[in-house]
Amino acid sequence: MQADFLVIGSGIAGLTFAVKAAQQFPEKKILVITKAHADETNTKYAQGGIAGVTDFEKDSFEKHIEDTLIAGDGLCNRQVVEIVVKEGVDRIREIIDWGAQFDKEDDGDFKLGREGGHSEFRILHHKDVTGKEMERALLSEVAKYSNIEFIKHCFVVDLITQHHLGFLVTKSTPDIECYGVYVLNRETNQIEKIIAKVTLLATGGNGQIYRSTTNPSIATGDGVAMVYRAKGRIENMEFNQFHPTALYEPGVRGQSFLITEAVRGDGGILRNKNGEAFMERYDPRKDLAPRDIVARAIDSEMKITGTENVYLDVRHMSVEKFVEHFPNIYEKCLSLGIDVSKHLIPVAPAAHYSCGGIKTDEWGRTSIKNLYAAGECASTGLHGANRLASNSLLEAMVFAHRCYMDAALKVPELSYKNDIPDWNARGTTQPKEMILITQSLKEVQQIMSDYVGIVRTNIRLSRAMKRIDLLWEETESLYQTTTVSPQLSELRNMITVSYLVIKGASFRHESRGLHFNTDYPNKSEMVQNIVL
Ligand SMILES: Cc1cc2nc3c(=O)[nH]c(=O)nc-3n(C[C@H](O)[C@H](O)[C@H](O)COP(=O)(O)OP(=O)(O)OC[C@H]3O[C@@H](n4cnc5c(N)ncnc54)[C@H](O)[C@@H]3O)c2cc1C
């Protein structure tokens, strides 16, 4: 199979790119691949909203830029921050034109929310299901273009580069090129090749490497792992954002339900098991301090009081307003017997967002030729050491647009690569024991949660590395002898991504942004990105 534009991922980044390419090139083929249902993405679960300057009387680009730089703790690329904040307004207008609806006041102005780290009310939202609404609008826009082909439940295993043509490719090889991908066809169980002129990785986050995460099961860091295997550049993987307030449900594994930060923006107060509003002891901004500070404060309160959760108190808020702004959260709590007007909501931090990823330049170009990355899998320089809340949907749209702009100039000049060999499955057999995969997966999540979580130490990192190394060896030998399955591929990718997080964390001899190591509690004079 061939495609002029190959898009891996059907979240906000992938679909934005696909629509733009389809609009400009009606005669060219755009192929979108996703490993799950079309809308099973991190995008669908975004609650709080999308940050953007729309009220120019009270707000300004400068204020949004400043807030982003402060959150990024010295590691943002200022040029990229300016690009995202300024160009974001046009991208928001575009998605509104494509049908996305954001809540409005009676006078027709946007109803703007405020979240931790923002100095102004600037978050556009659709109740508490903003991502679902944006994904809906994007999918219906995609459906209008006959030159977009959409393949669901199709797992991308690896990028195709010169390596597959028999050349030795190392980190120092100049001009590594991407010719397309190998995919696992779930119907035939065969690995097929898809040849493309340009490829966009929009594979999302990696929250699943932790035991508790707000991310759905697709978030296994596949894009990052594929680029690392192809000898491309990966950056700042140690900056994992933990959302301070996922709903705490004892005994529940997998994706945790998120209680958006906007609830604290509207007046929600965090309390420990003794009922104390503890945030004032940690930061003058109290419950609206940036996420990393709130997450560490909760972690510390849980350790002091010996509990697995704290509470969010919204009992003093108007229940009518709460239901109007957060209907989804209200219903979810009620389904568990929590009436938010009378009861405290039990919450605990959960892995939420990966700030680092595939290193790109300001046009979304990776270190591999004809390969772009956008959205959560990319490290563009916007977030630095910490993401400002609700900046990620904005970044995904701005960079999807920029990738498309650059790719649109290249595609007419490019041709398909011939002579790509078929996938070599010689010597592999069907897996006999799935337990070898499922148990290793649990171990990865355990290691990452216990040793590489919100607070890190040198000894924990070194233990984590030793254990991940062992899992890597075992999984690689399984991979050499077993027919490829999505489960095995995901495990392999999660081990690679965990390795990159631990490696980044071990190289960073300081505490900065989201990375906090008690052996190096201060910031270093040397301000640097860690590129692996
Ligand atoms: C609960 C929650 C709440 C959030 N709230 C907000 C918010 O309020 N505001 C904000 O700005 N951000 C928020 N975020 C973050 C934001 O939603 C994500 O960063 C963003 O949606 C990522 O979009 P994406 O297009 O990069 O990836 P995704 O939307 O995650 O899409 C990834 C796609 O890649 C596909 N894929 C992955 N690997 C493969 C493979 N090997 N083969 C084939 N397909 C593959 C997946 O199937 C999927 O289609 C939230 C995230 C979560 C989880």
Q: pLDDT tens digit string along 428-468?
A: 777 777 888 999 999 999 999 889 999 999 999 999 999 99
Confidence (pLDDT) at 194: 97
What is the pTM for the complete model shown? Answer: 0.93
Please give the structure tokens belonging to residue 280.
Answer: 């004032």
> Containing H/E element for 243?
strand 240-247
Place of tokens 């493309």: 196
Average pLDDT score, the chain? 94
Beta bridge partners of 110: 104
Q: Which residue of 392, 404, 496 sits with most ligand 1 atoms within 8 Å of its CB, as the best mutation to test the pocket?
A: 392
Q: What's the residue count for the chain?
A: 532
Confidence (pLDDT) at 176: 97
Residue nearest to atom 41 of ligand 1 (CA): 156
- Mean pLDDT confidence for 77-81: 98
How far is Cα 496 from Cα 507, in angstroms, rounded to an integer?
16
Would you say 348 and 199 are in contact if contact means Cβ atoms under 8 Å apart? no
Which residues are annotated as catalytic?
Answer: 291
Confidence (pLDDT) at 416: 97
Distance of CA 442 to the CA centre of its chain: 21
Predicted confidence (pLDDT) at residue 100 exceeds the cutoff of 90: yes
Confidence (pLDDT) at 373: 98
Distance of CA 521 to the CA centre of its chain: 27
- Whether 380 is in the pocket of ligand 1, judged by its Cβ within 6 Å, is no
Contacts with 100 (C-beta within 8 Å, 6 or more apart), sequence order: 126, 133, 134, 136, 137, 138
Place of tokens 């944006």: 134
Place of tokens 């890597």: 472
- Whether 396 is in the pocket of ligand 1, judged by its Cβ within 6 Å, is yes
Q: What is the pLDDT of residues 310-329, one digit of tens each?
A: 999 999 999 999 999 899 99
Confidence (pLDDT) at 290: 80
Predicted confidence (pLDDT) at residue 49 exceeds the cutoff of 80: yes
* Alpha-helix runs per DSSP H in 46-188: 61-72, 78-97, 130-142
Task: Please give the sequence-ordered ranges of beta strands (E in DSSP) within 35-136, or none if there are none.
Answer: 50-51, 123-124
CA 360 to centroid of ligand 1, rounded, Å: 18
**Ligand 1 atom at minimal distance to the Cα of residue 43:** 21
Q: What are the CA-CA distances from residue 169 to residues 98, 161, 176, 357, 368 (Å)?
A: 42, 9, 7, 21, 11
- Mean pLDDT confidence for 334-355: 95
